[in-house]
A and B are shown apart, each in its own frame.
Chain A
Amino acid sequence: FTKRKLDQDTLDGLEDVLVQADLGIDVATRIVEAVGRNRVGKDIAPEEVKAILAREVERALVPVATPLVLDEARKPFVILMVGVNGAGKTTTIGKLAAKFRADGRSVMLAAGDTFRAAAIDQLRVWGERAGAPVVTRPQGSDAASLAYDALTQARQEGRDVLLIDTAGRLQNRNELMAELEKVVRVIRKVDASAPHAVLLVLDATVGQNAISQVEIFGKVAGITGLVMTKLDGTARGGILVALAARFGLPIHFIGVGEGVDDLEPFAAADFARAIAGLD
């Protein structure tokens, strides 16, 4: 490599890379400052600069790269999937169900999206793919009572895991958030410790609005972790770095396609390299 003095122009270029990956201006500035600290004016090869950038991004992500652990004492372990419309909740439930099945667990799905057209059929197909029964009620039924029934049934049948789907909702729609709150409340009537995980699903293309999503879904449904989908596209999902700094919530999985196996554990180093434009 030919080395060059690290100058402000190079640092500005790095900031652009981060902004274009959706880290947001404040976090981008902070990370680039860390890259420049004690290095401005020193001779560094361009490739090395990117590696340093990746390391700084990784540093922000390592604390939140936490696997989803199913507490064996909870039977069923209840996972509630929440998020805005179209983020990938139903698909991710299908992928998770297949994964838990492959680990030898008995899984049940609850078709808690009783609103959207054919949402129930969609989950049914995923249930078949994963080999997990799906509890359904007709479209238009009350989502909270469906969740109640499903948990009661999963308990009776001694299932290891219950995955509950919910309708997509935007976090500023108060009436829909109240409905979600009710789902959680009703689940607790069956098992006061449930839901044991509440996963917010984020689309990799999402921009700064994800901050408000985490804030409000967190308040209403008590989210315990994040999943980011659609990282097989061109979006880098850098908002996760801003979210990590601000909320510190675990990031469990990433979605990398529409197939049943297209779910991977979140790996801070790989994610950071992609954001820095390496690989």
Chain B
Amino acid sequence: MFDGLSEKLSGILDKLTRRGALTEEDVNAALREVRRALIEADVALEVVRSFTDKVRSRAVGAEVVKSVTPGQMVVKIVHDTLVETLGSDADPINLDAVPPVPILMVGLQGSGKTTSTAKIARRLQDRQGRKVLMASLDTRRPAAMEQLSVLGQQVGVATLPIVAGQNAVQIARRALEAARLGGFDVVMLDTAGRTTVDEALMTEVAEVKAQTQPHEVLLVADALTGQDAVNTARAFDGRVGVTGIVLTRVDGDGRGGAALSMRAVTGKPIKLVGTGEKMDALDEFHPARIANRILGM
């Protein structure tokens, strides 16, 4: 696909007689193809727009050096701008607070919150030597709490004992208390999936946040998400103040435009990516890899 875009841009630009710098007209022709490629990669339309504006202002007047063709030149500008927008540095989970440090996991139904909770807990425990407690605040999905507890056993991380009849806020308070008493460094709060238009559930998660003052609020989102990524990211960020994004199912063959969309509208870093169902399938985020993927490289 990237080859496709590369070829198209070359087709459009390289037949122009080489001039010193790219003109607005050249660039506009190229940007129509860029727009198309980004939409095909599931980048949200509004993000496509602001992105192509940025690329336009960089590309117009750019000097085409001898070693490259105008088409390649624009591709390079697009790629570099993508990497930059996605966030240039790996941004680790911040635990710089008084223990037990609460981390709140939020997101739509089925995005991968529970799985990612256990993966992150495992990593903090095994790689950074932190003592981690996990708690499921999901009182809704059948067997959600059992799921987290099975995963806890698999990765050797403690889970808060299940007590029937408590609501999410009560469980969260109990988790913090247990973490304090048990000398835990980190307490991870897995929440039920919710749609952002479910007012009752959005209020609930806001209440959990207010009561627990999490140091990190991680939005867990599916890399296969289409245009809705912007709505989801904005709504969760607006209600609970997201501090970072965990992008799941990066092991799929989706083009991953959701990463750019969510990053662009929230300005929040993508901290980790899920690369499989297994507990070690968690990676640092590499902007260049996602940029290549969005461009189909």
Which residues of A are at the interface with B, using a C-beta cutoff of 8 A? Answer: 16, 19-22, 24-25, 84-88, 94, 115-119, 121-122, 124-126, 139, 168, 170-173, 203-209, 212, 230, 232-236, 239, 258
| Bound-state Cα–Cα, A79 to B109, Å | 24
* Residue among A24, A87, A119, A208 making CB contact with B110, cutoff 8 Å: A87
Check if A258 sits within 8 Å of B140, measured CB to CB: yes
Given A20-B44, A88-B110, A207-B257, residue A234 in contact with residue B232 (CB < 8 A):
yes
Q: What are 26 A-B pairs with beta-carbon distances under 8 A?
A: A19-B45, A21-B227, A22-B42, A25-B36, A85-B112, A85-B277, A86-B109, A117-B150, A117-B151, A122-B142, A170-B251, A171-B253, A172-B253, A203-B222, A205-B225, A205-B232, A207-B42, A207-B224, A207-B225, A207-B227, A208-B40, A209-B42, A209-B224, A234-B197, A235-B228, A236-B228
Per-position contact with A for B224-255: 1 when CB-CB < 8 Å, else 0?
11111101100100000000000001011111
Contacts of A25 in B (CB 8 A): 36, 39-40
Q: Contact residues of B with A, CB < 8 Å? A: 36, 39-42, 44-45, 108-112, 140-144, 146-148, 150-151, 154, 195-198, 222, 224-229, 231-232, 235, 249, 251-255, 257-258, 277
Prevailing SS type, chain B contact patch: loop
State in angstroms the CA–CA spacing of A117 and B147 once bound together. Answer: 5
Chain A, residue nearest B274 (CB): A85
A206 CA to B228 CA, complexed, in Å: 8
Report the minimal beta-carbon distance from B135 to chain A, rounded to whole angstroms: 16
Ordered nearest first, which 6 A-B pairs have the shortest CB separation? Answer: A207-B226, A86-B110, A125-B142, A233-B195, A207-B42, A118-B147
B151 CB contacts on chain A under 8 angstroms: 117
In this complex, what residue of B is CB-closest to A203? B110
Q: How far does the alpha carbon of A170 sit from the alpha carbon of B222 in the complex, in Å? A: 12
User: A61–B69 Cα gap in the complex (Å)?
Assistant: 44
Contact status of A86 and B253, CB under 8 A, knowing A19-B227, A207-B227:
no
Distance of B253 from chain A, by nearest CB (Å): 4
A80 to B57, CA, bound (A): 52
Q: Is the Cβ of A209 less than 8 Å from the Cβ of B252?
A: yes
Asked if A121 contacts B142 (CB within 8 A), the reply is: yes
Which residue of the partner chain, among B147, B235, B249, contacts A170 with CB atoms under 8 Å? B249
Contact of B258 among A84, A115, A124, A207 (CB under 8 A): A207
Contact B197 A121 (CB under 8 A): no
Residues of B within 8 A of A232 (CB): 195, 197-198
Listed residue (B109, B146, B222, B254) with the most chain A CB atoms within 10 angstroms of its CB:
B109
- Chain A residues contacting B249 (CB-CB under 8 Å) are 84-85, 170
Given A85-B112, A258-B109, does the pair A19, B39 have CB atoms closer than 8 Å? yes
